């Protein structure tokens, strides 16, 4: 192969992402320099944070440049290496973006073991989403046995891990998800104690029933009405790990309607970005990998086929059409 | 004296507090039992938290009972004692409420030294408001030299101490207060670096000018538009000590308009009630007392005369009519 295809950001979306915001290009495979590795991507990871990068507005990370390969996590196999730690055939996870292939400095790749854990899991339960759940649970929420943990987007890559980690700590795990199918999966397959379907129209009452002893810890992925409803059920000294606000990813203002609850219940809330805490990743990934290998941490994937499907799959992710971790399979 | 006067809560306010929500009563001075102390109150403390107690709604403390002496901090002098630690003439601070006299268990009184610190200061800078500032600054904000600290209600009993403690730590202290007179006081007498008059109509722009390097720590007493404006100027990893939301004390919903900022800037926010952290009071009060005695921690008082003036003074406090610590002088 001397050429490969990639998707670049063609324009910054106004409001909802459109497929026309991306453009497919064919580019030449570059020569490797010392220390570099050429990787054939098997899977692309699609994640909500990418929406923020597509805007020019101030964010916690630099904006995705126009006309450059769209950013993103990848899992694949080494094609050629000029780095001493990697040889052809190694499976690796990295950040090569929306492209069939890519070149990375060896220091930016993580060699992964696919003997007990599928390659794709390194983009989900044993990757950034899993680490997000692990960090929020262990470093922010620190939920104790008997406490109630509420997590929104509960069937998603992060939320599904949050609830299962909560159960492993002896907590009551309450999910919020959209639709009966997702809620059934969260309870019956993942083992949450309850899951509230926010689309059913009785959010407050259903959450009150699902968390009869109140909520001690919120892992928030969504924001808006779902977050407000969870805050309204908090107990004194509740903690909030603020991970995502997907309800506002298209740029609209996203209020917390009743800030008084934060004071009334002496809540500690912390916004976080897991990639700013890399010092925890070796420990977290080791634990998550063991749980997946043992079958104690389950996950589900929605897999789109082929690079060209990425824009539509990403759009669907932001609208909640995915079920579990959203991937794009290239090979 | 065999009788004294007190104010009881006659009815729960709907919306704004009315003077008719209180009722003056004359009651008999009770007999002391072992361990009890009879105190003549010289000063009553009026504080925003009292508004919350007047409601029947869920709060972090029990509601003020109807037809009972209105709760509140007091400073006064021992009239009679059946407790070994107190003798007639001792100056004490306690929680005897809106009354000329009161009986307390000796264990609930704090003997205070008025040789270098005026008695009234034990209800302000060396009392609960001062401790509130001290705890928020030292245990939550932990602002470092060179950082910018923003505090609302900056001329008030808590806010004035927050800014001065920030300056003592080498921070830039930015206040928000209502009106030119209060802002002038905050800057010229208390030594804040800047103070924004939220009534002047240019809150966002004025705050941007006052905090040219952004805001690293917010001590929030007010909520609403003032809090939103401060959040909009936060730097990454800013901290928020959520102490009060006086803008919403009459029961209206009080939104945080743009929750995205909490995530974008990875903010840690913590609501707190200083009386739940009594283990810090001995250290904090010692430090605050030393600062007041040395003239390094200044304060201002608004003093209403006579028990009957308490309801109107309290109403004025909630409307920002006070200037510094609001007291009622009884003797």
Please write the tens of the pLDDT for every residue from A269-303: 999 999 999 999 999 999 999 999 999 999 999 99
Task: Give the one of A242, A263, A276 whose C-beta lies nearest to B262's C-beta.
Answer: A242
Q: What is the pLDDT of residue A253?
A: 80
Higher pLDDT, residue A199 or A63: A199
Mean pLDDT confidence for A95-114? 97
**In DSSP terms, which residues pair with B305 in a beta bridge?**
B329
CA distance A65 to chain B (A): 19
Spatial distance between the Cα atoms of A139 and A153, rounded to a whole number of angstroms: 20
Q: Is A147 in the same domain as A34?
A: no
Asked which of B230, B259, B275 is the last residue of a domain, the reply is: B275
CATH of the domain at B118: 3.90.180.10
User: Given this model, what pLDDT does residue B316 score?
Assistant: 94
Q: Quick one: average pLDDT of B178-204?
A: 97
Flag whether B291 is in a domain.
no
- What is d(CA A299, CA A292) in angstroms, rounded to the nearest whole number? 9
Neighbours of B233 (CB within 10 A): 23
The answer to whether residues A210 and A259 belong to one domain is yes
Let me know whether B120 and B133 are in one domain: no
Band the pLDDT of A94: cuts 50, 70, 90.
very high
**Predicted pLDDT at A254:** 87
- Evaluated on CA atoms B166, B169, B170, B171, the torsion sign reads negative
Could you read off the pLDDT of B6-35 as tens digits, one per residue? 999 999 998 899 999 999 999 999 999 999
A285 occurs within a structural domain? no
pLDDT at position B144 over 90? yes
Q: Which residues of A touch B268 (CB under 8 A)?
A: 268-271
Q: What is the pLDDT of residue B57?
A: 75
Q: What is B257-286 written as a DSSP string? A: S-THHHHHTT-EEEE--GGG-GGGHHHHHH
Q: What is the CATH number of the domain that holds B135?
A: 3.40.50.720
Mean pLDDT of A42-47: 97
- Name the DSSP class of A256: B
Of all residues in chain A, the percent with pLDDT exceeding 70 is: 99
| Rounded Cα–Cα distance for residues A131 and A14 (Å) | 31
Q: Residue A243 sits in which domain range?
A: 128-275
Domain count, chain A: 2
Same domain assignment for residues B107 and B144: no
Give the model's pLDDT for residue A248: 76
Indicate the average pLDDT of chain A: 95
Residue B263 lies in a domain: yes
Picking from A254, A271, A274 by the largest number of B CB atoms within 10 A of its own CB, the best residue to mutate is A271
Residues of B in contact with A223 (CB under 8 A): 259-260
Predicted confidence (pLDDT) at residue B36 exceeds the cutoff of 90:
yes
Q: What is the mean pLDDT of chain B?
A: 95
Using H for helix, E for strand and C for coil, what is the string for A137-169? HHHHHCCCCCCEEEEECCCCHHHHHHHHHHHHC
The reply to whether B249 falls in a domain is: yes
Tokens of B168: 């003592």
Residues B197 and B106 in one domain: no
Distance from CA of residue A322 to its chain's centroid?
12
The dihedral built from the CA positions of residue A140, A144, A148 and A153, taken in this order, carries a sign that is positive
Cβ contact, residue pair A265, B223, below 8 Å: no
Q: How confident is the model at residue A15 (pLDDT cuts 50, 70, 90)?
A: confident
Nearest CA in chain A to B251: A260
Q: Does residue B244 share a domain with residue B113? A: no
In this prediction, residues A237-266 reach a mean pLDDT of 89
**Are the Cβ atoms of A263 and B245 closer than 8 angstroms?**
yes
Q: Which residue of B has its CA nearest to A274?
A: B266
| Per-residue pLDDT tens digits for B60-101 | 778 899 999 999 999 999 999 999 999 999 999 999 999 999
**Cβ within 8 Å of residue B312, ≥6 positions away:** B19, B304
The answer to whether residue A10 sits within a structural domain is yes
Mind listing the pLDDT tens digit for each residue in A16-31?
Answer: 899 999 999 999 999 9
């Amino acid at each position: 192969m001397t050429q490969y295809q990639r998707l670049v950001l063609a324009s910054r979306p106004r409001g909802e992402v459109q497929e026309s915001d991306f453009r497919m290009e064919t580019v030449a495979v570059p020569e490797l320099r010392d220390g570099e590795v050429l990787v054939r991507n098997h899977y692309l990871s699609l994640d909500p944070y990418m929406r923020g990068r597509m805007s020019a507005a101030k964010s916690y990370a630099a904006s995705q440049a126009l006309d450059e390969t769209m950013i993103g996590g990848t899992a694949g196999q080494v094609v050629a290496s000029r780095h001493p730690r990697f040889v052809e055939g190694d499976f690796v996870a990295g950040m090569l973006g929306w492209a069939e292939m890519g070149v990375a400095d060896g220091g930016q790749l993580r060699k992964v073991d696919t003997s007990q854990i599928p390659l794709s899991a390194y983009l989900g339960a044993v990757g950034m989403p899993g680490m997000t759940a692990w960090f929020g649970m262990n470093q922010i929420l620190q939920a104790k046995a008997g406490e109630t943990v509420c997590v929104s987007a509960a069937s998603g890559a992060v939320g599904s891990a949050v609830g299962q980690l909560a159960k492993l700590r002896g907590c009551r795990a309450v999910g919020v998800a959209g639709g009966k199918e997702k809620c059934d999966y969260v309870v019956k397959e993942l083992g949450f104690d309850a899951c509230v379907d926010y689309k059913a129209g009785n959010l407050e009452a259903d959450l009150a029933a699902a968390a009869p002893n109140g909520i001690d810890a919120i892992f928030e992925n969504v924001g808006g009405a779902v977050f407000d409803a969870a805050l309204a059920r908090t107990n004194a000294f509740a903690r909030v790990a603020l991970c995502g606000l997907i309800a506002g990813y298209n740029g609209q203002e996203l209020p917390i309607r009743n800030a008084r609850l934060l004071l009334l219940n002496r809540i500690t809330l912390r916004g976080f970005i897991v990639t700013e805490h890399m010092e925890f990743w070796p420990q977290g990934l080791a634990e998550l990998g063991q749980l997946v290998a043992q079958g104690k941490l389950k996950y589900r994937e929605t897999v789109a086929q082929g690079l060209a499907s990425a824009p539509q799959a990403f759009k669907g992710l932001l609208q909640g059409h995915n079920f579990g971790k959203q991937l794009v399979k290239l090979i």
